[in-house]
Structure 1
Amino acid sequence: MSDCTEQGCTGVVRDGFCDVCGLEPRGSEPIAPAPGASASGHAFPEDPGRPDHPSRPPSPGSLADPALVPLFSGPSDALPAPLAGAPDPPLGVVEGDDSPAGPDGTDGSDETGAPGGLKDTGDSDASVPRSSADSDVRFTDSSASDISRISPRSDPPRRPFFSAFSRDGSGSGSSTSGPTSSPSGRNSRRTSSSSRGMLGLGLVQVPPVPYRDPATAIMSNPVVAEKNRFCGSCGEAVGRRRDNRPGRTEGFCPACGTEFSFTPKLKKGDWVEDQYEVLGCLAHGGLGWIYLARDHHVSDRWVVLKGLLNSGDAEAHKTATAERNFLAEVEHPNIVKIYNFAHHPDPKTGVPAGHIVMEYVGGKSLRDLIVERRAHGADTSGLPVDQVIAYGLEALRAIGYLHSKGLLYCDFKPDNIIQSEEQIKLIDLGGVRRIDDMVNPVYTTPGYRVPESELRNPGPSVCSDLYSVGRTLAVLSFRFGFMREHLHSLPPRESVPVLARYESYDRFLRRATNIQPDLRFHDAAEMAEQLTGVLREVLSDIQGRPHPATSTLFEPEHFVDAASGGTSPKRLLTRPRPADAAAALPTPQVDPADAAAGILAGLSAVRPEEIVATLEAAKAPSPETRLMLARTLIALGRQGDAVEPLEAFGARAPGDWRTYWYLAVMDLSLGRYEDARARFEELYDHLPGEAAPKLGLALACEGSGAVDAAARHFETAWRTDRSYVSAAFGLARIRLAQGDRTAAVDVLDTVPELSTFFPSAQMAAVTVLVSDRDVADLDEQVLVDAGSRLNRLRWNGLYGEATDRLAVRVLEAALAWIDSGRRPARPAWLLDGPLDEEGLRCNLERMYRGLARLSTGRADRHHLVDRANCLRPRTWL
């Protein structure tokens, strides 16, 4: 160990990198991982002579960052090709903190990085399969997952679908849970990903990355570092320094005799197929040298030639050909374009060598951006979370496009995403494969890929691609040991500030990177939709204003109709009954593809009892018919009868989250708050970008006494979307119960004036200000504020018994305040009368007599007249 060489850093260098700043010592070579463990988490013997020891080369012909390992995903009887030696950790990785970092913002290597999209670290081409006798790495079958759940979370304990219910809803009976085949359930609406949009849907201002002039990116001394020279056949280190003599860039492997060459095959001034004029080297990677050239057949445009490092490397040839074929099928604005595939004779052997001709992408990789940010001391954690989400949304469009073409990307990571100006592009499609490919090696990166057992069986899939997207977002957002301690997990939420602040983002990442494939996202559009909802929550918190959007999964909430002011403010500030709480929640939208969708839409105005009779008489009920029947039965208080249609729906659509939704609503309607909370937790995990699960969870938490959690969920929903007025009243209700009247009033004041619930919110605010309050806690400002709120409602045309009764409550509170010996600092008015004893008594007499005239009950009328007589000003007559 030694002290860090960075100025001002107090860290200690461990395994080649500082344990505080994460930077490599200046002037030093990267140090191999500690003996006994590889970057991928496998144990290795201490004997460095073994072919599987980490000191051995990661792969034949690999370069700066040999993090990618080919894994086989073929039939179970065809063993995968084990690792060709343990991969070194990504450059700039510290023990326990694998976030990219390097001195001066570099990746820690001694080569010049390519401009933006041209940087090729060789990750995708890091190794060649070796025989099983050469490695101690063992692949195990994936363990069976509990796919009867829809969420990865285990705290609080979760129960499978259809947890014990009897017909009367008492909670006894047998479980009818079964395996799920589609954890996502019904997918949401989506739009085509073929057209380009702005980063972050135009909601996020992502700093643009200037386009880099390709001429300034040419390497002045194109040399492959000695530490990155390996035999393309056996993987033995070649071309290394001996006795202070520089290593050879060309020669023969001392182990197997295979010829090697690390010199560029093209030089400035060369012409490839009489079309491309070579201007110099830009970078080098696992597939070889990358050159800048001009295409003199097409407007002298800049192009990139991606050649082969070692023409004797058969695997590299095969990978390059695969990249060419896949790229030829791809046409998307967020994916690098391939133009051609050209050949040029090797200057030494005369054998034609292949070169992929692709577009030049001038910019920086996301890895470069985060390394620069940390090097400049702007932030030691990660990129701003809204910026990271903007990148994720744009990348998901590209990934979804590949999936629609039957392709898997396989190697999604920050290095392979380039930002140029205000656009990002995926580069390096060398790892792309067809979804049904069961033969070719799989190229992935430790720390971003799914467990090896999953890559072996069932093999790469759409959800394994989306897993890598989730891991990438996590790496960009905060520092954690994603290559070691948390190779297939995330740190606890409370230990990461950004996750502690944004619960929905935490749940999104945990679903995306769940160890069980069935519990992850299974569709890029679905994942993007939930991430968009999370982005709106994040922006609402950052910017202090709502960012609402219409849900594609839920109808609007069914909050009590208080728009006319006829609903008692006290009722709005009282915890709702279980049945009322359940009835207020939004309901899942009817699938328009369902055969009965049109008929069900026409039942909205029909009495619930008639809806039940109609749906129970259906001879061939559709899935949506069963859901509508269950929903109506729950609303009628017949929860036990609702279990049967839910079971029938679950049997036909296993894993559909709507089954779990109605079970949660059923628990809530019966007052089983703890059970409802557990189910809504599951739904929140599954739909982190939706407001409805948060509302249900808040109500369940409130009912169970977990008021702090309830307030947090109410606040998140209300801060993001002001259309969920029940969240405002719920939050105000909790703040009042906590004794914070000011906070309760502040929440009610955020109900927009254009909302039909604004009068109700203001009346509730008046109630909070003066009701059930000790006279000693009252002051002049509170009384005047309450009167002003009522006057504004009257000026807006809101008159009636409810406002008059509330005015009486304000006046009586003011009279009690005067009777206690308190007086206003200067003459004041309250509700069109002086704030003194005589003025208040006159006002109260008038108000009570007016209410008596409106009363329809004899006893009530007599009581109101008696109050008027009792409170009228005292006289001698």
Structure 2
Amino acid sequence: MPTSVLANPSPGTQSIMPPSPRLQPQESLPDPGTDSVVAASRSEGHGTGTRSEGTGSGSQGSGTGSFPGTSRRTGSRTSSRRSRRGRLGAGLIDVPPVPYRDPATAVLANPVVSEEKRFCGNCGAKVGRAKDGKPANPEGKCDNCGTPFSFLPKLQPHELVGGQYEVLGALAYGGLGWIYLAQDHNVSDRWVVLKGLIDTGDATAMAAAANEMRFLAEVEHPNIVKIHNFVQHPDAQTGTSVGYIVMEYVGGQSLRQLALQHHRESKRPEPLPIGQVIAYGLEILPALGYLHGQGLLYCDLKPDNVIQTHEQLKLIDLGAVRRVDDYESPLFFTTGYSAPELATQGASISSDLYTVGRTLAVLSFEFQGYTTKFKSSLPGPDAVPLFALFGSYYRFLKRATHVDPDRRFLAAEDMADQLTGVLREIMALGTGKPRQAASTVFGPESRTFGVHLVVPEAGTTVPLPEPAEVVAGLPIPQVDTDDPAAGVLATTTALDPREAIEALAGAPRESIEVRLRIVRARIELGEFAEAQRQLQAAQYLAIRNGFPHDWRIDWYRGLIELAGARPRVAHVAFEAVYDDLPGEIAPKLALAVSAEGVGDYFGAARYYELVWRTDRTYVSAAFGLARVYLAQGARAGAVEVLEMVPATSTHYIDAQVAAIKIKTQSGAASEQSRISEQDLLDASGRLERLNLDVERRTRLSAEVLEAAYDWLRTPSAPSPAETSKVLGYALEERDVRFGLERCYRTLARLAGSTEDRVALVDRANSIRPRTFT
């Protein structure tokens, strides 16, 4: 069994007490055979994050970035999207609902802490275990430091806590205490959960519980467990007052238990479906974004800390929650899910989001060694078939769990945007149905490039679109609305490049957006050296503002290289953008063009297909994919792609005309690529259905009839069917020659010069078959 969420118990929650780390195995997961019952402190997860603003001391270290989340696109953004019941799946995938569990069935018959999970809360030594023939004792004193310990539930059935909460029994135990089920006799006998301490002598645990009480009173989000109250109750043995947090009962199953159930049902170590895992991530991120917006960090996300009930997720076990500017209290985390910088820099938005990425990774593939060899890294696509199949998902997880906090996502909302894009792509590939949606960082494809496809003759290569046409057609990054020059930039949209440069002469010099707009203008003017100079100035501003890895710098660097006919260098720049924005269409389209430019037809086809299958509004990808297929001699594949351009598209006729040209032009000398009778009939039918002007229709008719004439004169060509007709002419040489004569004479009447008119009349006379009149 691999080391994953479905295998061995979690390594357990640990804590760090600033300034030097003090690790404490505080938590273990329930037995794989048990069900999830409550909003408890069991957890298992992973994620990615962004740096918190300001400079910390002690274990927090210092960080750059912003709080609660600064986007390189739109400036400051607070990730406070609220989930709605039934939203699970983002409207893209159906996630099986989990039935609500009757709380009365969740009480443990024999609540005990297994020996292997008994440690001293003070020094971490093993306690309460069988030794030298003596039986284990769940209560006593640590042999190492003398600290008292107890692993027995403090509350008994029917015991009344706080004068209103009647205990029914223990539900589970976690890193910070026992979990009890109770009824609130003051509020309609509703089911609630009481969370206490495993060991009342553990000062660290008590401090964490106090923190939980203080913070959770402020938290109210549909995807976060609700805290009702905090009460004191005397310990039955010592009489010491013990604090209990009163929270809502969440009946359902944790993500870890859902994964275990999936294993049992499939009878093999099979991870959860990738779409379902991503849907979970899209529910978790708004909850974390809400906490970040409140100035709080969750710190210890893992699969056991997320419960699904019906079609809703809830984050549970808020014992590790802390304020962003808290540099003193213990930091709780779980090995295999926690960010590597916790011990030196402390917790941040970035480390919080890191845990989301790790959680998704553990749930989506058999992640062997996620607590050891790959404790702070990911295996590559060569080891994980899922990554090889869905490269965008791999890049998403790589950014989410990057070892450098500054390279991770900046905010939960930005991370959710990219994850949604990845899910759209995966669903499109899996179902064959496009899943287009507006981008939050790029504008739409305003100009389509490469639509006037030139079909090569035998032995020639497929001509590529002009670099300037490609650069003008690629999507443009949206303007950061918080940029000091955003208002001025809005007035330059319709200006030509030279006018735009002049209009921005007096704009604020500290504006990155102004620099980037000038870069684009210089590219359009072909002034690449000046474009590079302006881009360097923009990069300097980005670094000075705390964004040393601004993807827009790489994007415009790629455009400069692409416009300068250096596709190989451009490809490297666009790869960097794709790493940062794995859910976006634009980088993949740019990578497809640059790969095509260096003759990497396999890579180009892969990216063009990703774009076209996901979003049919990017018609440039369809024509690009057709070009790549033609370059490889796959005429049928090229036509199939062009047929997918919808009739509602402004380039539908261009696609049909290109398909006609492909059908009537042999792309190579091989027998397989030569045109057939069916090709001619298909091209004829397509042309007859198109609504073209007279000149264009006549020229295209001449091409179809010329192809038919050449085919009929080929010695090896089979005899056509007697009923076959091309553009109304019988598929036999005499009739086709009459059709060509008519086309040439029509074109002669439409010719713009005497020279062209004479040449066309001569062609008409030469092709006309001999007659007696």
Asked if these proteins are the same fold (TM beyond 0.5), I'd say: yes
2:274 aligned partner: 385
Q: Which residue in 2 is equivalent to 1:68?
A: 13
User: Is the Cα contact below 8 Å between 1:728 and 1:747 reproduced in 2?
Assistant: yes
Give the Cα–Cα distance (whole angstroms) in 1 for the partners of residues 3 and 346 of structure 2. Answer: 38
Distance 1:316 1:21 in 2: 27
Q: CA deviation at 1:578?
A: 2.1
**Which of 736, 742, 750 is matched with 1:840 structurally?**
736
Helix, strand or coil at the partner of 2:90: helix
List per-residue Cα deviations over 1:230-266 (Å, max 9, x = no partner): 3444444333336776433333444444443332222
1:727-782 per-position Cα deviation (integer Å, ceiling 9, x unaligned): 11001000000000011011111111111111000101111111245596222211
Give, in angstroms, the shift of residue 413 of structure 1.
0.9
Q: 1:748 to 1:187 in 2, by over 3 A?
A: farther
1:128-174 C-alpha deviation (Å, 9 max, x unpaired): xxxxxxxxxxxx999999x99xxxxxxxxxxxxxxxxxxxxxxxxxx
- For structure 2, the residue ranges without an aligned partner over 5 or more in a row are 47-57
Question: Are 1:536 and 2:432 matched, yes or no?
Answer: no
Aligned partner of 1:801 in structure 2 is 695
Which is further off, 729-738 or 310-319?
310-319
* Corresponding residue for residue 111 of structure 2: 222
Describe the SS at the equivalent of 2:214. Answer: helix
1:192 Cα deviation (Å)?
4.2
Matched residue, 1:132: none
CA contact under 8 A between 2:449 and 2:473: conserved in structure 1?
no
Residue in structure 2 matched with residue 366 of structure 1 by the alignment? 255
Amino acid at match of 1:204: I
Paired residue for 2:390?
A: 502
**What is the CA–CA distance in structure 2 between the aligned matches of 1:764 and 1:753, rounded to whole Å?**
14
Over 3 Å counting, the alpha-carbon distance change for 1:90 and 1:681 in structure 2 is: farther
1:267 CA displacement: 1.6
Asked if residue 545 in structure 1 is aligned to residue 437 in structure 2, the reply is no
Residues 131-150 of structure 1: pairs in structure 2 closer than 5 A: none
Residue 824 of structure 1 aligns with an amino acid whose one-letter code is P
Relative distance call for 1:444 and 1:118 in structure 2 (3 A) is closer
Return 370-379 or 526-535, whichever deviates more: 370-379
Classify the secondary structure of the residue corresponding to 1:203: coil
Q: Which residue of 1 aligns with 2:598?
A: 704
Deviates more, 1:690-699 or 1:798-807: 798-807
Mark the CA change 1:411 to 1:476 in structure 2 (over 3 Å): closer, same or farther. same
* Number of aligned positions between the proteins: 743
SS in 1 for 2:194: strand
Distance 1:21 1:404 in 2: 32
The alpha-carbon distance between structure 1 residues 647 and 260, as it changes in their structure 2 partners (threshold 3 A), is: closer
Quote the offset at 1:121 in angstroms: 6.7
Counterpart secondary structure, 1:117:
coil
Q: Would you say the 8 A contact 1:585–1:692 is kept in 2? A: yes
Corresponding residue of 1:248:
137
CA distance in 2, matches of 1:854, 1:592: 52
Q: Where does residue 355 of structure 2 map in the other structure?
A: 468
Please, which of 628, 633, 640 is the counterpart of residue 734 of structure 1? 628
Letter in 2 for 1:493: P
C-alpha distance in 2 between matches for 1:684 and 1:80: 38
Q: CA deviation at 1:187?
A: 4.9
Is residue 769 from structure 1 mapped to residue 663 from structure 2 by the alignment?
yes
- What residue is the counterpart of 1:422 in the other structure? 311
Identity value in percent? 50
**1:278: Cα distance to partner?**
1.1
Aligned partners of 1:554, 1:243: CA distance in 2, in Å?
A: 68
Aligned to 2:51: none
Q: Helix, strand or coil: the match of 2:582?
A: coil
User: Residue 855 of structure 1 aligns with which residue?
Assistant: 751
Cα 1:425–1:728 shift into 2, 3 Å: same
Q: CA deviation at 1:631?
A: 0.6
Q: Which amino acid aligns with 2:12?
A: A
Partner of 2:190: 301
- Local SS of the residue matching 1:424: strand
Provide closer, same or farther for how the CA distance between residues 65 and 387 of structure 1 changes in structure 2, counting only shifts above 3 A.
closer
The residue aligned with 1:757 is 651
Alignment partner of 1:778 is 2:669:
no
Aligned letter for 1:492?
Answer: G
- Offset at 1:182? 8.0
Q: Equivalent residue for 1:488?
A: 376
Q: Is the 8 A contact 2:171 2:181 kept in 1?
A: yes
Match of 1:273 among 162, 166, 188: 162
Check the 8 A contact 2:15/2:21 in 1, yes or no.
yes
CA offset digits 1:104-146 (Å, max 9, x no partner): xx7459xx5551533637999xxxxxxxxxxxxxxx999999x
Q: Distance in 2 between matches of 1:741 and 1:816?
A: 19
**Whole-Å Cα distance in 2 between the matches of residues 576 and 23 of structure 1?**
51
Closer, same or farther in 2 for the Cα pair 1:658/1:226, shift >3 Å? closer
Q: Which moved more, 1:277-286 or 1:114-123?
A: 114-123
Determine the structure 2 residue equivalent to 1:724.
618
* Aligned position for 2:50: none
Instruction: Describe the SS at the equivalent of 2:463.
Output: coil
The structure-2 alpha-carbon separation of the partners of 1:184 and 1:508, relative to structure 1 and needing over 3 Å to count, comes to farther
DSSP-derived class of the 2:479 partner: coil
Q: Residue 81 of structure 1 aligns with which residue?
A: 21
Seen in structure 2, the aligned counterparts of structure 1 residues 259 and 747 have a Cα distance that, compared at 3 Å, is same
Q: Name the residue aligned to 1:669.
A: 563
Query: CA 1:714–1:444 in 2, change beyond 3 Å: closer, same or farther?
Result: same
Q: Which amino acid aligns with 1:590?
A: V
Partner residue of 1:686? 580
Instruction: Measure how far apart 1:573 and its partner are.
Output: 6.4
573-582 or 676-685, larger mean C-alpha shift: 573-582
2:684 corresponding residue in structure 1: 787
- How far apart are residue 556 of structure 1 and its match? 2.0
Q: Secondary structure at the match of 1:219?
A: coil
SS state at 2:82 partner: coil
The Cα shift of 1:305 comes to 0.8
Aligned-residue Cα RMSD (Å) equals: 3.1
Distance 1:378 1:705, change over 3 A: farther
Contact 1:277/1:293, CA 8 A, preserved across alignment? yes
Kept in 1: contact 2:172–2:180 (CA 8 A)? yes
Aligned to 2:53: none
Cα deviation for residue 381 of structure 1 reads 3.9
Q: Which moved more, 1:849-858 or 1:744-753?
A: 849-858
Whether the aligned pair in 2 keeps the contact of 1:396 and 1:525 (CA below 8 Å) is: yes
Kindly state the Cα deviation for residue 387 of structure 1 after the two structures are TM-superposed: 0.9
Q: Secondary structure at the match of 1:310?
A: coil
Summarize the Cα distance change of 1:384–1:242 in structure 2 as closer, same or farther, 3 Å threshold: same
- Residue 120 of structure 1, aligned match among 36, 42, 60: 42
Change (3 A) 1:66 1:477: closer
Cα distance change of structure 1 residues 859 and 143 upon mapping to structure 2, 3 Å threshold: farther
Instruction: After TM superposition, give the deviation of residue 569 of structure 1 in Å.
Output: 5.1
Q: How does 1:258-337 map to 2 (within 5 A)?
A: 258-337=147-226
> CA-to-partner distance for each residue in 1:665-715, whole Å, 9 max, x for gaps?
000000111110110010111111111111111111111121111111111
Q: Please tell me the residue identity of whatever aligns with 2:243.
A: G
Match of 1:352 among 228, 237, 241: 241
Partner of 1:440: 329
2:298/2:318 contact within 8 Å kept: yes
Partners of 1:256 and 1:192 lie apart in 2 by: 46
Matched AA of 1:771: Q
Partners of 1:305 and 1:832 lie apart in 2 by: 84
More relative contact order in 1 or in 2 (CA 8 Å, sep 6+)? 2
Q: Find the aligned partners of 1:189 and 1:668 in 2 and give their Cα distance.
A: 32
1:587 paired to 2:453:
no
Which residue of the partner structure matches residue 55 of structure 1? Answer: none
Please say if residues 616 and 629 of structure 1, whose CA atoms lie closer than 8 Å, have aligned partners that are also in contact.
no
